[in-house]
Amino acid sequence: MTMTTPDQQRAAGDSTPLPGRSLLSINNIEVIYNEVILVLRGLSLVVPERSIVALLGSNGAGKSTTLKAVCGLLPTEHGEITDGSITFDDHDITHLDAAERVRRGISLCMEGRHVFEHLTVHENLVAGGYIRGRTERTDLDTVYEFLPRLADMRNRIAGFLSGGEQQMLAIGRALMAKPALLMLDEPSLGLAPKLVQEIFGYIARLNAELGTTVLVVEQNATRALEIAHHGYVMEQGRLVLDGPAAELRDNPDVKEFYLGLGEGGVRKSYRDVKHYKRRKRWL
């Protein structure tokens, strides 16, 4: 099977106009932890069907909390949505439990991968399809086709896989639920650059060839914007910037703070970027 690069996949995606229908809509939500800590402050964003949307921001911006709000996982961490609503596939899911959201087509690959370490690769994938009642052979074949390295490791214990292999397994396990919306929390975390490129290439292929809608949370803005159609930038629980991915890549604020590039494409030092954080023009 020929593997295409993220740039090639993005080029293919950019040539096709995105559908106008919104698959996921987050409408002015506020999220509070432990009844006192306000994390999301009137957040609104839209994920169009069959698109890739990147949610960017530094640590503590509220990116992971956003995904947990969509997946219904906030109660496990003493969090709750206190205002606003979340709509998925034209239905209000704000107060549905997590299992029901998975049944409706939402899958999340959490930060840190969280594979079942004592199970084999094959058993992890079967567990991913549990919510649907049974695992079809064709579902496994699809995962192995898009993530061929998993096919070669199907009998290996997941806990002995490398970080990149575990990330592929986490994505494959999420795909077993046949999601309409696949959400990825920091898929590049802790991976070597070559593996990061490979992982994002798989994500782009899933979108281009299967039509899977993707919401990816990333600090690696360069890679995320290479494959995304649209991007949002978060700071302190709020959205401060959004637009087509190509425009964000060329935005001077994004280039200087998130891509580490100054005028003329010169890479900035950490000290310069840290100083720039205190004077961001969009705040």
Return d(Cα 264, Cα 63) in angstroms, integer.
30
Handedness of CA 233, 235, 237, 238 (dihedral sign): negative
Confidence class for position 6, pLDDT limits 50, 70, 90: very low
pLDDT at 5 over 60: no
CA-based end-to-end distance of the chain: 46
Pairwise pLDDT comparison (208 vs 138), residue with the higher score: 208
Minimum mean pLDDT range among 52-66, 134-148, 192-206, 261-275 = 261-275
Pick the closest to residue 113 from 56, 164, 64 (CA basis): 164
pLDDT for 91-124, tens place per residue?
A: 999 999 999 999 999 999 988 778 899 999 999 9
Mean predicted confidence (pLDDT) in 209-236: 92
Mean predicted confidence (pLDDT) in 183-212: 90
pLDDT at 47 over 50: yes
The residue with tokens 């439990």 is 97
Confidence class for position 10, pLDDT limits 50, 70, 90: very low
Name the pTM for this structure.
0.83
What per-residue confidence (pLDDT) applies to 260? 59
Confidence class for position 20, pLDDT limits 50, 70, 90: low
Q: What is the mean pLDDT of the chain?
A: 84
Pairwise pLDDT comparison (212 vs 272), residue with the higher score: 212
- DSSP E strands in the chain: the ranges are 22-33, 37-48, 52-56, 79-88, 91-92, 106-109, 181-185, 213-218, 230-235, 238-244
Return d(Cα 149, Cα 123) in angstroms, integer.
16
Q: Check: CATH 3.30.300.30 for 1-105+179-250?
A: no
Pairwise pLDDT comparison (188 vs 87), residue with the higher score: 87
What per-residue confidence (pLDDT) applies to 264? 53
Confidence class for position 133, pLDDT limits 50, 70, 90: low
**In the chain, what are the domain boundaries?**
1-105+179-250, 115-178, 255-283
Handedness of CA 221, 222, 228, 231 (dihedral sign): positive
Could you tell me if residue 232 is left (phi over 0), alpha (psi between -120 and 50 degrees) or otherwise beta?
beta
Share of the chain above pLDDT 90, in %: 57
Share of the chain above pLDDT 70, in %: 82
pLDDT at 39 over 70: yes
Pick the closest to residue 169 from 220, 124, 231 (CA basis): 124
pLDDT for 225-267, tens place per residue?
A: 999 999 999 988 999 889 999 999 888 878 777 665 555 555 5
What per-residue confidence (pLDDT) applies to 92? 97
pLDDT for 56-100, tens place per residue?
A: 988 889 999 999 999 999 999 999 999 999 999 999 999 999 999
What per-residue confidence (pLDDT) applies to 188? 87
Pairwise pLDDT comparison (275 vs 48), residue with the higher score: 48
What per-residue confidence (pLDDT) applies to 139? 84
Pairwise pLDDT comparison (189 vs 183), residue with the higher score: 183
* CA angle (78 as vertex; 112, 25 as ends), nearest 5: 75
